């Protein structure tokens, strides 16, 4: 996910997500089925090119999860019900806006949706990348919990009214997080990613099968690495030193955080191919880490794994 303060995420997303043309239409009259500021037709609703400006405004009150999908997309049929379930269980603290990519080309282009399912959030009108591909329910819960913390940092703490649901009771009924997870969340909220890494590592030391801790560890490691990086300076350094692993790692991290998954994988695979065998291990380890962030079922990961295998053998 992105920096809880959104200051770095804006830089990372620049060029990856361009909502300016859609935002510019926010002064137009709202469509009849569009959400109005501070409210939504339901917790899960469809959004179109025409109604998206109202969704941007809604994100200033409550975090909006954007699900880019299509009827022909098999992984979408797996992920969408999970997204709906987790959002509904949040009791109005999140809403889910579903975008049919075939029917809404402007939104598809704005989010640079090279593959679907693709899930992005809007917080205070700013895009925050979440994940691509079908991911497990536990990982969705982990990411959405971090999204709510990020939104709180921005003062986006509204609740969409839900019939028969007491939002405060829902929050009070939530089970407490395991101690190491709570420590990690507190650290993320404070922008201390190194401490969050330590907390997740401690959770994994206690339970190597803790998938939530493993997913969280990969995310905060990425956040820690890209924090404060300047994209253009990183690209210049990588172009000047094509075999410098650290320089290539920096650009790959920024590309992945910005949604340019194929570019990130391609850069590291090209580096792996160019290096002597003795220097390849760190590149392979970084690739495997990034594969885990995107998800093993993602088509881009499958392609990249295939190329990595051919380079190894």
The CATH number covering residue 308 comes to 1.25.40
* pLDDT of the residue at 119: 92
Same domain, 43 and 128: yes
Same domain, 73 and 17: yes
Rg (CA), the chain: 20
Same domain, 72 and 110: yes
Task: Classify 69 as helix, strand or coil.
Answer: strand
Distance separating alpha carbons of residues 284 and 278, to the nearest angstrom: 12
Tokens of 281: 């291990």
255 occurs within a structural domain: yes
Q: Nearest Cα to 305, choosing from 251, 259, 258, 268? A: 268
Same domain, 125 and 240: no
Burial class (CB in 10 A: 0-12, 13-18, 19+), 253: buried
53 occurs within a structural domain: yes
Contact 119, 67 (CB under 8 A): yes
* pLDDT of the residue at 246: 96
285 occurs within a structural domain: yes
Q: Nearest Cα to 119, choosing from 144, 155, 145, 88? A: 144
Q: What is the DSSP letter of 161?
A: -
Contact 119, 132 (CB under 8 A): yes
Tokens of 129: 């990348």
* pLDDT of the residue at 99: 93
b/e sequence 269-296, b meaning 16+ C-beta within 10 Å:
bebbeebeeeebeebeebbeebbebbbe
Instruction: Tally the residues of the chain.
Output: 313
Owning domain of residue 192: 175-212
2 occurs within a structural domain: no
Same domain, 11 and 148: yes
Distance separating alpha carbons of residues 145 and 131, to the nearest angstrom: 14
Let me know if 286 is a catalytic residue: no
* pLDDT of the residue at 243: 97
Helical packing angle, 193-206 and 211-226, nearest 10°: 160
166 occurs within a structural domain: no
Let me know if 76 is a catalytic residue: yes
From 56, 76, 203, 250, active-site residue = 76
What tens-digit pLDDT sequence spans the chain (313 residues)?
433 333 333 323 333 444 554 544 444 444 444 444 445 568 999 999 888 888 888 999 999 999 999 888 888 888 999 999 999 988 889 999 999 999 988 888 888 877 888 999 999 888 888 888 888 888 899 889 889 988 888 888 888 876 544 445 444 445 677 899 889 888 887 778 889 999 999 999 999 988 888 888 888 888 889 888 898 999 999 999 999 999 999 999 998 877 788 999 999 999 999 999 999 999 999 999 999 888 777 788 899 999 999 998 8
From 73, 220, 238, 257, active-site residue = 73
Burial class (CB in 10 A: 0-12, 13-18, 19+), 141: middle
Contact 266, 256 (CB under 8 A): no
What total of structural domains would you count in the chain? 3
Angle at 13 between CA 142 and CA 149, to 5 degrees: 30
Name residue 96's beta-bridge partners: 44, 65
Tokens of 265: 């994988």
């Amino acid at each position: 996910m992105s920096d809880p303060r959104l200051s770095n995420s804006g830089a990372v997303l620049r060029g990856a997500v361009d909502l300016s043309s859609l935002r510019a239409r926010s002064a137009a009259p709202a469509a009849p089925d569009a959400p109005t500021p501070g409210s939504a037709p339901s917790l899960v609703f469809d959004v179109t090119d025409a109604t998206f400006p109202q969704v941007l405004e809604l994100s200033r009150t409550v975090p909006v999860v954007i699900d880019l999908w299509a009827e022909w997309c098999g992984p979408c049929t797996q992920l969408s019900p999970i997204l709906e379930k987790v959002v509904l269980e949040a009791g109005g603290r999140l809403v889910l806006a579903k975008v049919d990519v075939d029917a809404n080309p402007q939104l598809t282009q704005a989010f640079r949706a090279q593959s679907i399912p693709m899930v992005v959030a809007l917080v205070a009108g700013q895009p925050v990348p979440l994940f691509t591909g079908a991911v497990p329910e536990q990982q969705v819960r982990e990411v959405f919990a971090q999204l709510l913390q990020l939104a709180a940092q921005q003062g986006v703490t509204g609740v969409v009214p839900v019939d028969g649901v007491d939002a405060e009771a829902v929050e009070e009924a939530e089970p407490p997080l395991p101690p190491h997870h709570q420590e990690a969340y507190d650290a993320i909220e404070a922008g201390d990613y190194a401490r969050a890494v330590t907390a997740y590592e401690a959770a994994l030391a206690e339970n190597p099968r803790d998938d939530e801790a493993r997913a969280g560890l990969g995310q905060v490691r990425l956040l820690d690495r890209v924090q404060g990086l300047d994209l253009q300076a990183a690209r210049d350094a990588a172009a000047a030193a094509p075999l410098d692993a650290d320089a290539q790692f920096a650009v790959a991290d920024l590309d992945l955080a910005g949604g340019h998954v194929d570019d990130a994988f391609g850069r590291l695979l090209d580096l792996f191919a160019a290096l002597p065998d003795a220097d390849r291990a760190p590149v392979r380890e970084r690739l495997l880490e990034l594969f885990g962030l995107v998800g093993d079922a993602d088509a881009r990961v499958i392609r990249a794994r295939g190329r990595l295998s051919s380079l190894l053998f």
